[in-house]
Structure 1
Amino acid sequence: MEKVDYIIVGDGYAGVFFAHQLIKNNKSFVMFSEGRKSASQVSAGIINPVVLKKFTTFWKAQEQISFLKDSLKEMENYTGKNYLIDAPIHRIFHDENEQKLWLKKSENSELVNFLDKNFDHIEVVKNDFNTGKVNQSARLDVSGFFTGLFDFFENGSKLIKEKFDYAKINAEDSTYNNIQFGKIIFCEGMGVKENPFFSDILVNANKGHHIKVKLSEPLPQNITIKKKHFLFPVGKDLYFYGGTYDREQLHSHVDDSAVEQLVDGLSAFYPYDFEVKEVSFGFRPTVKDRRPIIGKHPEHSNIFVFNGLGARGILNGCYFSKVLYDFAENDSPLPSEVNMERFIN
């Protein structure tokens, strides 16, 4: 019987970043991956410490940005590549009032390191009131990240490409099929709704569409443009534009209305012809208070959950993977803000 310290169920940001914590700490593991692209794997990969609608920040933004950059450097030691793309976000201003608000917010102690006071003008797109640059923002090479990490896991016989069968868990004996495990971490995103151990945790699906387009006039390669959605190059003369947010239309096919919304959004500031080449969507696992859910099963002390990363999957997944590791390994107390028990009356 194979023995591992951990079984990870799920192959999105939560699972992969938790696997990194195990690698750092010389823990053995296997990861179950169904082979379907998760919401993480079709995400934009935006790394952003600022809420760009209101020019505010969020809980532990600086800590999360710094921790992510350190973690990606650590991953480079065994993947051979750093998947961080230095392409800062440039937010197109709608009018002079937004410029003034940006400058006012940039004096705030929580935002001074994020909101650049020098405005920029970008050729090709409409930005009559210029753009504001978000310092410390960047992108993750999403495709390269998952391909590189999965190759590393597979080469180390850590990747099991099959659907996890909950019925095969023997929690008392800590076995799954022919695997003896120390702990199981469920990182399944919206798949958790089928999980008999954690099906009642309060995550809600938020459906996001994005399009890949071919632009008739190319844009600069080293920036990410934001107006209503994000626009940036992804190679092969294609650009990513998205993503939408929809909590109502949750069926598993493309929504024409979402595609129309994206085409209209891009047309509003890109004045040249473009062609939609690809449409993708995923279901983000979101939480009412916009903070992750971490916890241990009330009856089985060897079964854990890590979910609810929402639209900030990269930052939340990376930073809170360490919080989860310390909780699982050392019984370190969880911050109340992410503890699963915060929703228990």
Structure 2
Amino acid sequence: MENVDYIIVGDGYAALFFAHHLIREGKSFKLFSESRKGASQVSAGIINPVVLKKFTTFWKAQEKIDYLKIVLSEIESYTSKNYLIEQPIHRIFHDENEKNLWLKKSASEELMNFLNTEFSQFEDVRNPFGTGSVSQSARLDVSSFFTDMFDYLDSKKYLVKEKFDYSQINITENTYKEFEFKNILFCEGMGVTENPFFNDIPVIPNKGHHIKVRLQNDLKNNVTIKKKHFLFPLNNNLYFYGGTYDRDQLHSKIDDSAVEQLVSGLAEIYPFDFEVKDISFGFRPTVKDRRPIVGRHESHRDFYVFNGLGARGILNGCFFSKYLYDFIENDVALPEEISLGRFLL
């Protein structure tokens, strides 16, 4: 029997950012991954402190961005790569009213560090009213981040490449197959619906599609364009465009209506021909109050959950993994806003 401090079940942002804390603190662990591409691994990787529909921000936006940069620098120490792509978001204005609203909001204390008041105009996309850029916005190199993190975990024998079998847990002995654990953490996204210990947490699936396209003419500016969806360059002369939000069409196949929505949205801003080369989708685990769900099982005191990261998986996964670590290891109370306990009252 091998003794470990933690078993982590899951392989998205929640699992990997928590694993980073264990690596940093010298804890022993095993991370169980089915090697399936969930919502995190097909995500756009957008790091954005502004809600671009209404030009508002969100809870702890600045703190989350600041902490993400620290954590990515720490991860770079063992993967030898920083995954932050300093590529700002440029929001295309629909009309002059939106531009004026942007200026008005940029004067507010909560948005003055995020809304740049120097507007831009681009030649190769339709933007008759110009664009506003979001300061401190960026992207994560999603593909490299997951590839490198899994390679590192595998090289250090932290990674177990198999589907986790709940029936193999001995809840009285804290064992799973050949492992004896102090704590077990479930970071499964929508897979939590099959988890007998946490399948009642109120996560709501939100299906998101994106497409990879080849443009007739490459964009000259190295930025992320946003109107209805995000458009940015990838490798191999391809571009990412997405993603959609759908709480109704939850079957596990591509929705033609979502693809049509993306194609028409891209055609609205890109005046030349393009070819769809790939279509992907995933199910984001969202929560009604737009806060993650973090906490300890009522009956099994060494069982924990970290879920409900929603569309801000990178920022939420990175920031709140530290809260969870301090809760488990240092008995620091979780903020009520994210605590599993808020649903048990």
TM-score normalized by structure 1? 0.99
The letter for the 2-side match of 1:334 is: L
Please tell me whether the aligned partners of residues 171 and 302 of structure 1 are also in contact (alpha carbons under 8 angstroms): no
2:86 and 2:138 in contact (8 A); partners too? yes
> Which residue in 2 is equivalent to 1:131?
131
Aligned-pair CA distance for 1:156: 0.4
Name 1:330's counterpart in structure 2. Answer: 330
Letter in 2 for 1:80: S
Partner of 1:81: 81
Q: Does 1:52 align with 2:52?
A: yes
Alpha carbons 1:291, 1:337 under 8 Å: kept? yes
Q: State the distance in 2 between where 1:249 and 1:2 align.
A: 43
Q: The residue matched to 2:41 in structure 1 has which SS? A: helix
Q: Which string of whole-angstrom CA distances, capped at 9 and with x for unpartnered residues, describes residues 180-216 of structure 1?
A: 1110010000000000000000001000000000000
CA distance in 2, matches of 1:6, 1:234: 36
Within-5 A mapping of 1:111-260: 111-220=111-220, 222-260=222-260
Following superposition, the deviation at residue 174 of structure 1 comes to 1.2
Per the alignment, residue 42 of structure 1 pairs with: 42
- Counterpart position of 1:286: 286
1:272-325 CA-partner distances (Å, limit 9, x unpaired): 000000000000000001110001011111100000000000000000000000
Counterpart of 2:259, as a letter, is V
8 Å contact 1:293–1:339 — kept in the other structure? yes
Answering whether residue 319 of structure 2 is matched by residue 319 of structure 1, we say yes
Structure 1 position 221, deviation (Å):
5.4
Provide the C-alpha distance between the structure 2 equivalents of 1:228 and 1:344, rounded to a whole number of angstroms: 37
Residue 10 (1) aligns with residue 24 (2): no
Q: Is the 8 A contact 1:183 1:302 kept in 2?
A: yes
Give secondary structure in 2 for the equivalent of 1:205: strand
The amino acid across from 1:197 in the alignment is F
2:69 paired residue number = 69
For 1:196-252, what per-residue CA distance to the aligned partner results, in whole angstroms no more than 9, with x for missing partners? 000000001000000000000101352100000000001101000000000000000
Q: Which 10-residue stretch deviates more, 211-220 or 310-319? A: 211-220
Inter-partner Cα distance in structure 1 for 2:55 and 2:156: 44
**Which residue matches 1:266?**
266
* TM superposition shift of 1:147: 0.2
Aligned residue-pair number: 345
CA RMSD of aligned residues (A): 0.7
Offset, 1:122: 1.5
Match of 1:278, as an amino acid? D
For 1:36, what is the secondary structure of its paired residue? coil
SS at match of 2:269: coil
Task: Provide the C-alpha distance between the structure 1 equivalents of 2:259 and 2:123, rounded to a whole number of angstroms.
Answer: 25
Instruction: Provide the rounded CA distance (Å) in 1 between the counterparts of 2:68 and 2:171.
Output: 33
SS at match of 1:181: strand
Alpha-carbon distance in 2 for matches of 1:278, 1:231: 14
Shift, 1:171, TM fit: 2.0
TM-score (norm 2): 0.99
Deviation for aligned residue 1:344:
2.5
- The residue identity in structure 1 corresponding to 2:6 is Y
Q: Tell me how far apart the structure 2 counterparts of residues 65 and 248 of structure 1 sit (CA, whole Å).
A: 31
Contact 2:171 2:300 in 1 (8 A): yes
Inter-partner Cα distance in structure 2 for 1:81 and 1:182 = 32
Question: Structure 1: 5+ residue runs without aligned partners?
Answer: none
Q: Distance in 2 between matches of 1:221 and 1:18?
A: 35
CA distance in 1, matches of 2:96, 2:161: 53
